[in-house]
Amino acid sequence: MPKVSTMSLTDEEIRYLRDAIAREPNSVELSMVSAEWSEHCSYKSSKPYLKIFSTEGRYVLVGPGYDAGVLDIGDGMLLTVHIESHNHPSAVEPYGGAATGIGGVIRDILSMGSRPIALLNALRFGDIRHDNHARWLFKNVVRGIADYGNCIGVPTVAGEVEFDDSFTNYCLVDVACIGIARRDRLVMLKGDADDLIVVAGNRTGRDGIHGASFASRAFEGEEEDRSAVQIPDPFMGKLLIDATMECVEKGCVKAIKDLGGGGLACCLSETADRLGKGMLVMLDALHVRESMSAEEMMISESQERMLYIVEPSRLEEFKAIMDKYEIPYSVLGRLTDDGYLSIYHDGKQVARIKASIVANAPIARRNAVKPPYIEEIAANSRKPEMPEYEDVAEIILELLADPSIASKEWVYRQYDHEVGLRTVVKPGYADASVLRIGLRHDRDDEDADGKYRYIAVKVDGNSKHCYIDPYNGSMGCFSEACRNVACVGAEPIAMVDHLQFGSPEDEHVFWTFIESVRGLADYGRYMKIPCVGGKVSFYNETRQGAIKPTPLVCVVGLVGDGSMVMKGHAGDGDMLMIIGLTKDEMGGSEYYEYIHSTLSADVPKVDLEYDKHARDAVLALVRSGLLTSVHDCSKGGLAVAIAEMCIASGIGARVELSNVPHTCTRLDDLLFSESHSRFLVSLRRDYLDAVNRVLADYPVHKAVIGAFNSDSDSLLLEYKGSSISISMDSMLDAYSSIARLMGHGG
């Protein structure tokens, strides 16, 4: 059994702690503080930089700093959003790690008194084509998410998957959750002296001890990491959802908080600090699985546990609900006015320390220096040899089979994406998923039956772009997520981000972190899309070094009304139009990296004003009902986006490439550039004039570049007199490469 230690505290932090409490901390206090002051729980490196996000907006009720951001979308309905990762645990035990990640983000949503209604996931692995271990991780991570999400009845509605060698022997497993609350029932932290502190859920055991500090250092994959193996229990997760919602319904809890990283230590200190209260805690009352020391109880990260603050007069009601679901619980103690966490065990006081000290780690100053590799890439950027036009077909097929681009159907088929009767646009049918809310139980107003609202959600990231140019790459991820929700007819109203990097103690890594935050913040401020929450995950390193910087952006959008939800396919004879400008920006493109293994500095840049115009133009078109389908043009570039439209619609097309508005000097740049702010739309011929009238208001490039044709079973690309043809069958075959690689799920 691992010994509780202070391994994650620096000498400086120990000195700071001594000064703060004016004495030597005892061992229980030390382990509480070291759990809470871990990077994972305290944000000690990132906090000052996160302040630059703009966090206010028309829909924001609660911004960052709580367990989930809260959006008020009217009619008495609130949305909650949160994102989490479970990278280290998934790298050790992919099934359990991914599953417990879902459990964790669900409990954050529950903590606001909101009901989880949808999950998203963003996954990253090494090369599944050649690496058995990467395949093993991928298979089990997906199975873990599926088993947990399916079992608790929360649909997994959208996501993304990327493969890159920087994730070899590792993986990034991010999950976001959307919740819904009734405005009159939102649970914000409240509590008064003598209110009771109750822990409910699974028995506490020695599992996951040091999980938070495990996630706060580089990943070794060693024996000692064993202690971080966490066992998912979706059954208890589901019972906690039902019981918590019943408590919220009845109004018998004043505060709810999940027990996550850092266990009781973090949960108690953060809750007490937030409430401005103290806590008197009797550890002997805690329901445990095995006999444990006070230190172990304080920092165990046993899964599926929740903390509730209950007024004494409501305790019986609360107990009746827990008993109904046969959920074990223990009344640990009560709130006090003195601001101290006073912890008792075995009749003795084992810790007495101010909650505000534990909950507020000293900020760690980190150096930031631009990493030399970025200059090196710039110095060595060279264009690959231009392929012959006949070879372009083969390259397009190769790109379609690139696991980062290929269909993710193998993944989302394993997820119940429909439970809840909300998933209007399902994974694989459009760039973002659309959810229906406003079912009778979602509202304050019981009579407003049938008046539904629709929201769109999508999460995006791009480690290849962010590695070479973290500022522009991050901005691009944000732009892409916004484009994706616009494609289904939604206006972005908020985002949550997840910033994943190597060690913040590495000045080069830290520079990329700061750049990335700047990119996201600049985009959000310009677009007036507030950040309502997020998460930072550092120390994503293996023996090979740090992962590529991987910020993720999860955007929530609001669809005008149900009839405006876009879930169409291109039909026979429809015209294909492109909106936006294709530029010679090849850095980090799949074409360069996957086909040519070439790094190049010129990562696509977002022109903020143009980006806004392009997105608004598409939104206006979708909302005027003039389009049959829309697809955003990103990974793999124009060629891949056109091919994907043919595949999705099951019909061929003929395209004249020279009609595409561009500033490229080479055909391969034109085909495969990942320039932002571009959309492909399909429309009926007779609507062309109307479409042009709508577009006249927006200063963006646009051109009809081809037409769909159900008689043809191929995609025909014409360019200055030459033409290539790619059969539908070969495209479909290439696009289903993941299913082929992964075989059966066993």
Partner 1 sequence: MPVYKVNVLIENKPYISDPEGDTILKDLVLKGGYHQVRSIRVAKMLKVEVEAKSVEEAREMVRRMCDELRLYNPMLSICKVE
Partner 2 sequence: MPIRIGIVVFPGSNCDRDIYHILKNIMRVDAEFIWHKRDDLNAYYDAMIIPGGFAYADRLRAGVIAAFSPVMQVVKRLARDGMPVLGICNGFQILVESGLLPGAFMRNDSLTFICRWTRLRLDVDGSRTPFTLLLDKGSIINIPVANQEGKYYVDEDTLREMERNEQIVFRYEDNPNGSLYDIGGVCNEEGNVLGMMPHPERACEIILAPQHMSNSILHGYGDGIMIFRSLISYLYAKGEHHEPYR
- Residues that are catalytic: 40, 86
Sheet containing strand 490-500, edge to edge, reads 423-425, 433-437, 453-461, 550-559, 490-500, 531-537
Among 484, 542, 649, 675, binds Mg ion (CB under 5 A): 484
721 belongs to the binding site for partner 2 (CB under 8 A): no
Nearer to ligand ADP, 344 or 415 (CB): 415
Cα gap 91→80, rounded to integer Å: 28
- How many residues bind partner 2, per CB under 8 A? 43
Which of partner 1, ligand ADP, partner 2, none has residue 408 at its interface (CB below 5 to 8 Å by kind)? Answer: ligand ADP
Alpha helix segments (H runs only) across 288-439: 294-299, 315-324, 355-359, 372-380, 392-401, 409-412
For partner 1, the binding residues in 116-155 under the rule CB under 8 A are 136
152 belongs to the binding site for partner 2 (CB under 8 A): yes
Cα gap 722→720, rounded to integer Å: 6
Which of partner 1, partner 2, ligand ADP, none has residue 460 at its interface (CB below 5 to 8 Å by kind)? Answer: ligand ADP
For Mg ion, the binding residues in 394-453 under the rule CB under 5 A are 431
Looking at the DSSP assignment, which residues form a beta bridge with residue 198? 308, 331
Which of partner 2, ligand ADP, partner 1, none has residue 208 at its interface (CB below 5 to 8 Å by kind)? Answer: none
DSSP per-residue codes, 575-604 = EEEEES-B-S--TT-HIIIIIS----S---
Nearer to partner 1, 61 or 741 (CB): 741
Which of partner 1, ligand ADP, Mg ion, none has residue 108 at its interface (CB below 5 to 8 Å by kind)? Answer: none
Nearer to partner 2, 299 or 559 (CB): 559
Which of Mg ion, partner 1, partner 2, none has residue 229 at its interface (CB below 5 to 8 Å by kind)? Answer: partner 1
Helix (H, G, I), strand (E, B) or coil at 410: helix
User: Are 191 and 270 a contacting pair, CB within 8 Å?
Assistant: no
Which token pair is 55? 């966090």
- Cα–Cα nearest to 193, from 81, 358, 45, 309: 309
419 belongs to the binding site for partner 2 (CB under 8 A): yes
Among 15, 23, 289, 528, binds partner 1 (CB under 8 A): 289
143 belongs to the binding site for partner 2 (CB under 8 A): yes
Stretch near partner 2 under the rule CB under 8 A, chosen from 77-85, 285-293, 358-366, 563-571: 563-571
Cα gap 299→294, rounded to integer Å: 9
Taking residues 248 to 287 in sequence order and writing x for each that binds partner 2 by CB under 8 A, - otherwise, the string is: ----------------------------------------
Which token pair is 94? 């992919």
Phi and psi of 632, rounded to 5°? -85, 150
121 belongs to the binding site for ligand ADP (CB under 6 A): yes
Which token pair is 491? 């206006």
For partner 1, the binding residues in 560-599 under the rule CB under 8 A are none
Which token pair is 455? 């929201």
Cα gap 271→273, rounded to integer Å: 5
460 belongs to the binding site for Mg ion (CB under 5 A): no
Which token pair is 133? 């271990």
User: Are 663 and 717 a contacting pair, CB within 8 Å?
Assistant: no
746 belongs to the binding site for partner 2 (CB under 8 A): yes
H/E run at residue 553? strand 550-559
H/E run at residue 78? strand 77-85
323 belongs to the binding site for partner 1 (CB under 8 A): no
Nearer to ligand ADP, 207 or 674 (CB): 674
User: Are 574 and 685 a contacting pair, CB within 8 Å?
Assistant: yes
Taking residues 415 to 454 in sequence order and writing x for each that binds ligand ADP by CB under 6 A, - otherwise, the string is: x-----------xx--x-x---------------------
Nearer to ligand ADP, 62 or 161 (CB): 161
Burial class of residue 6, CB neighbours in 10 A (0-12, 13-18, 19+) = middle
Cα gap 40→45, rounded to integer Å: 10
Stretch near partner 1 under the rule CB under 8 A, chosen from 232-240, 373-381, 384-392, 410-418: 232-240
| Shortest distance (Å) from residue 479 CB to ligand ADP | 11
User: Are 316 and 265 a contacting pair, CB within 8 Å?
Assistant: no
161 belongs to the binding site for ligand ADP (CB under 6 A): yes
Alpha helix segments (H runs only) across 404-462: 409-412
Residues lying near partner 2 in the complex (CB under 8 A): 143, 146-147, 150-153, 234-235, 238-239, 242, 324-326, 412-421, 423-424, 426, 429, 436, 439-441, 449-450, 562, 565, 567-569, 744-746
Residues lying near ligand ADP in the complex (CB under 6 A): 121, 123, 156, 158-161, 408, 411-412, 415, 427-428, 431, 433, 460, 484, 632, 634-635
